[in-house]
Structure 1
Amino acid sequence: MWALRRASHPLKSRGFTLGTSRVCSAKLDLASRHPEAKALMHRSTQSISNRCRIMMRLGHDNLDAFKFSMCSCGLSSQAGAKSSDEEDNLEDGFSELETPAGSDTVQGNTVEDENDDELISEPDLSEEDDELDASAQEMQLSDTEMDVIERKSQQKTVRSVLLKAILAAPGSSIHPTLDRWVEEGNEISRTEATIAMLNLRKRRMYMRALQLSEWLEAKKPFDLIERDYASRVDLIAKVRGLLKAESYVEKMPQNFRGEVIYRTLLANCVKVSNVKKAEELFNKMKDLEFPVSSFSCNQLLLLYKRLDKKKIADVLLLMEKENVKPSLFTYRLLIDTKGQSNDIKGMDQIVETMKAEGIEPDIRTQALLAKHYVAAELNEKAEGIMKEIEGGNLKENRWACRILLPLYAALGKADEVGRIWKVCESNPFLDECLAAIEAWGNLDKVEDAEAVFDKMLSTCKRPPSRCYSTMLKVYADHKMLAKGKDLVKRMADNGGKIGPLTWDALVKLYVEAGEVEKADSILQKAAQQNQLRPMFSSYMAVMDQYSKRGDVHNAEKMFHRMRQVGYFARLRQFQALAQAYINANAPAYGMRERMKADNIFPNRPMAAQLAQLDPFKKTAVSDLLD
């Protein structure tokens, strides 16, 4: 239970004026420390439950370095904390913590192939329960649709006759195929449509899923409900962007514009890291008197975890005030935030709090803990959790293999990686092959990675693009440019579709080989020739190299091109741009104003860069000359 003390300790006395529909923002004071903030936070933390104290430290490792604005305005959009490399690499999608591969926008996704999830040997769908649960949460599925998932969870795959017709539909539109299908006497029930929609989403075929949704709304073979409209909103946001999704919401029947619709929009704002829009939408939901849900709060936590960790405490205080119980995903987010900050003690406290509330860590949470223990060089603790994940019999717990392979590789234990791979080798699943390739690559055993890759290609009829991109990343990490080029040619010869993940690996391959101009050229062609935009990390890999060279012209060019393809400005980009000016020993006029225009506020490292770039700064020599 989420412990509250509102009766004896009202929020106002804690130094926050949240109001009924607002959260105050936490601002980092870069100029100096404020003793009054320290006293304020001391009073505040004394009056908050033990759990909330633990969680609040996630946002404030040194609380007295912060001051809190005493206002009742909406959520601030001052995203000023540097996001981790891991978050940057996630592009604009959800993190791996909540939503699986179906959560990318078409303008900015990591779509690879229509058969992305085709398995070499298809496991029971129950092995992917976590992904289905997260996907269902993202789509805001109805109880009927969840019943379908549960009934099908023990089958090899969730398929339908309608799905086969959609997959076989020629041309760019499936509407004629659906019309003919109905004319032939077939009926499209809600169950049939739901299974088809789920599979299209799982395959990341968002355009066809949107076309199915459009056809259902036009023909109405069954009565549509709010969640059907929410699914349509989500698909429009993925395929055509947020503005089109918002425009569709305005045209929807008023009686269907409920909480689920706005939650779907909020999730898509978070996917593209649009802080301002997400905060406005969150506040609008409160103005419309929708109840504050754990889903909405989790979306803000996910957003701030990437861009502004200071605000995590604000969301947690709001959850306490509104009596919103933290979910397993809430705890997982907080655990990951602590782990990224290398605060292992704080991370363990979150786990203890979670268990005290009767929530046991699931497999994904255990894997997350193990990853952070490995990063902190607490190998014994990591191995202890990994043994728990493995259980008594790895053959019976086959699903654990894909989790354990990269973890043991991170520990440098090649023998353990080999032991686990032997369990899978005779009849591997696709995810296990990819995990093994990555693991052997991290252990610098490229030949072993190649052996797994060749076995995967020989077994899989139509290998998805991520098979090639995973192997390509191994070559990039080891600067094996010639082999990387041969692999791309091999991929093209086999009819593989080159998408953002492959571009990302290819760009980094050339960057690691020192051919930055070639990487830049590939990136530009990829953006021009395909509807799918390259990943954020692809642009940053090239921009960082220009920055190191002090090549201001090309660094600015990359900055501009990222805007052109739809990426919202992040602190990470401004840091790279500022470093380019520093390395070029050139003044950067108006850098602060540019950041302010994008609602980006400097953290301490960025503030130091700006001070170094100030063309009007006073020095001892300039004072003498003046």
Structure 2
Amino acid sequence: MWALRRASTPLRNQGYRVRTSYVFGKLEVPYFWEGNVAGFGTIATLSDRYISSERNNLATWPSSGIYISSHGLSSQAGAENSGEEDGFSELDETLPTTRSEIVDDDDNVVDDGTQNELDLLEGETELAEKKFTKWVPSELTKAIWNASGLSVSSALDKWVSEGNELSWDDISSTMMSLRRRRMFGKALQFSEWLEASGQLEFNENDYASRLDLIAKVQGLHKAESYIAKIPKSFQGEVMYRTLLANYVAANNVNKAEEVFNKMKDLEFPMTTFAYNQVLVLYKRNDRRKIADVLLLMEKENVKPSPFTYKILIDAKGLSKDISGMEQVVDTMKAEGIELDVFALCLLAKHYVSCGLKDKAKATLKEMEEINSKGSRWPCRLLLPLYGELEMEDEVRRLWEICEANPHIEECMAAIVAWGKLKNIHEAEKIFDKVVKTWPKKKISTKHYCTMIKVYGDCKMLTKGKELVNQMAESGYSIDPLAWDAVVKLYVEAGEVEKADTFLVKAVKKYEMRPLYCSYRTLMNHYARRGDVHNAEKIFYKMRQSGYGPWFNQFETLIQAYVNSKTPAYGMRERMMADKLFPNKALAGKLAQVDSFRKTALPDLLD
């Protein structure tokens, strides 16, 4: 079983020069998702169950052109049910892409920009507990934090000239802190300075870290071209694995498949991680192909990890296939893998979404029971789900556990929970505590956006606008994260046109790219109203911004034509030009808009 591991040999301080085999630690993926899976027969069982169940629930388009072999993956198929919200994108093994320093790049295309009430990426129990331990930033970390804009290099030169020495621990902890705070721009400058100043002798993992940062800050096209600049001896599996993960994070199906195929062509060892990335990709875009990936894993003798099972659980849940989801759990247990808090949280989330309240409640209680050490960190997962179930007593009970000395993540989870219960007073009280308790550097735009979203869900437009003004007056950047919150605030209040106008003005003023979900929010509402003109306008803007071609864009656009009872001329040809093909459900909608064209002449005669 593949897993990322830190170098076990401690570094020596060699003046200002540090040599290490893995300086930046956990950069490409959090390796805690990976683990041993007893036996390999599970793949055949999973794929059989997935095929039998999925084929019954998800329509297969006969001419989709899906091709999977031991050589590689390619696809001409569109997404299955891709219009649904991918509620657990943060379950992916890649590092999270939401950040306070929003730039115009190719990642973060599906994040909703708000504090997600089910943020599972922080890891297993041990890691989640460590997250809340007291950490004191080093002087090196502070120097980079305090550097303005593009002056990181100058700040570091000054720091060294003052007689400060670099150590492996300083470099590693500083890079990790920059990444955790989504300060990818400064992390990239730090990486460049380490190499240019000769402070660090780069190896494959260090180059892969640079590749990941370039993808996040400058875009994936820059990242891919960067590989050619790396010494040939370091252009290995880790490099392409990192590129693959970033294309998956960007939801770019064609490029992700291209990279996966290239890894096989170059005869790199195909790890569980690489296959898990492809599974995540198809979970979002075409769940019919998951069974084919599982069969390919079996053929290549690649063992599933616990994360593999979580992907399958989530895929089944998103498809509303509760029976299939529970079959995956049964297989997982049969292989001797215990369900951790995160797997149970996935189950509970999908039980809630399908209205199975009793099963959801039992699963939440099980989550609490397996927390044998008695730590409180699962509260941030449990609070929003209890709120969704309208269990006010449970929300209050958990919040009382945290209230005396809360962590900011618990506060955000409680705000979301009280928002779901429409208890604005409690949500506001906690938010005021956050603003007064934590320094400005600790609070980011996303924390304000959490509260703005609560106002939006409760259709409290005035209060939401007041909080936006307060955020701006406090010096927080009104970035695409904030734009998204404002767009949803207007839309929930029924002011769709105002939301549209606001987004146009924001783009023109700040010259940044909106989040994908901001466009989706507008397009979904225009489609529901049958407003073909504006739906097409948003479709065009999404393409202009680099979002697409994606199946769910066409799905929403076609729905606009259906609702307006307007013929959609050339829609099939438009999809085929983008190498997308309708599934059974969408083919039915296309037939409806075709029928409008057939009846157009008789209607004129009448």
> TM bucket by the smaller chain?
0.7 to 0.9
Structure 1: which 5+ residue stretches go unaligned?
2-45, 118-127, 135-148
Tell whether the 8 Å contact from 1:282 to 1:296 is kept in structure 2 after alignment.
Answer: yes
1:545-564 aligned at under 5 Å gives the runs: 545-564=525-544
- Please, which of 435, 438, 454 is the counterpart of residue 416 of structure 2? 438
1:610 aligned onto 2:590: yes
1:250 aligned onto 2:241: no
- Partner residue of 1:504? 484
- Shift in CA distance, 306/70, structure 1 to aligned 2, threshold 3 Å: closer
SS where residue 85 of structure 1 aligns? coil
- Please, which of 474, 478, 485 is the counterpart of residue 465 of structure 2? 485
How many corresponding residue pairs?
Answer: 549
- Please, which of 82, 90, 97 is the counterpart of residue 95 of structure 1? 90
The answer to which structure, 1 or 2, has the higher relative contact order (CA under 8 A, 6+ apart) is 2
- Partner residue of 1:275? 253
Q: Which amino acid aligns with 1:367?
A: C
Tell whether the 8 Å contact from 1:189 to 1:222 is kept in structure 2 after alignment.
Answer: no
Tell whether the 8 Å contact from 1:77 to 1:276 is kept in structure 2 after alignment.
Answer: no
TM-score by length of 1: 0.80
1:448 aligned onto 2:420: no
- Partner residue of 2:81? 82
1:22-421 aligned at under 5 Å gives the runs: 49-57=44-52, 59-61=54-56, 74-87=73-86, 94-99=89-94, 101-102=96-97, 106=103, 107=105, 131=122, 155-157=133-135, 159-391=137-369, 396-421=374-399
Q: Which amino acid aligns with 2:547?
A: Y
TM superposition shift of 1:465: 1.6
Q: Which amino acid aligns with 1:608?
A: G
Structure 1: how far apart are the matches of 2:488 and 2:281? 26
TM superposition shift of 1:231: 0.5
Structure 2: how far apart are the matches of 1:561 and 1:616? 27
Name the stretch that deviates more: 590-599 or 370-379.
370-379
TM-score by length of 2: 0.83
Structure 2: how far apart are the matches of 1:558 and 1:392? 46
- Partner residue of 1:595? 575
Tell whether the 8 Å contact from 2:83 to 2:552 is kept in structure 1 after alignment.
Answer: no
Name the stretch that deviates more: 599-608 or 403-412.
599-608
- Partner residue of 2:498? 518
Q: Which amino acid aligns with 1:556?
A: E
Tell whether the 8 Å contact from 1:234 to 1:265 is kept in structure 2 after alignment.
Answer: yes
TM superposition shift of 1:488: 0.9
Q: Which amino acid aligns with 1:487?
A: L
Tell whether the 8 Å contact from 1:587 to 1:615 is kept in structure 2 after alignment.
Answer: yes
- Shift in CA distance, 367/80, structure 1 to aligned 2, threshold 3 Å: closer
Tell whether the 8 Å contact from 1:272 to 1:567 is kept in structure 2 after alignment.
Answer: no
Structure 1: how far apart are the matches of 2:59 and 2:505? 49
SS where residue 398 of structure 1 aligns? coil
Q: Which amino acid aligns with 1:290?
A: F
Tell whether the 8 Å contact from 1:269 to 1:275 is kept in structure 2 after alignment.
Answer: yes
Tell whether the 8 Å contact from 1:100 to 1:131 is kept in structure 2 after alignment.
Answer: no
TM superposition shift of 1:443: 1.1
- Partner residue of 2:9? none
- Partner residue of 1:33? none
- What do the CA deviations read for 1:91-139 (whole angstroms, capped 9, x no partner)? xxx433434534678425669xxxx99xxxxxxxxxx9952689xxxxx
- Shift in CA distance, 583/86, structure 1 to aligned 2, threshold 3 Å: closer
Q: Which amino acid aligns with 1:476?
A: G
- Shift in CA distance, 225/490, structure 1 to aligned 2, threshold 3 Å: same
TM superposition shift of 1:229: 0.3
Identity of aligned residues (%): 53
Q: Which amino acid aligns with 2:45?
A: N
Structure 2: which 5+ residue stretches go unaligned?
2-40
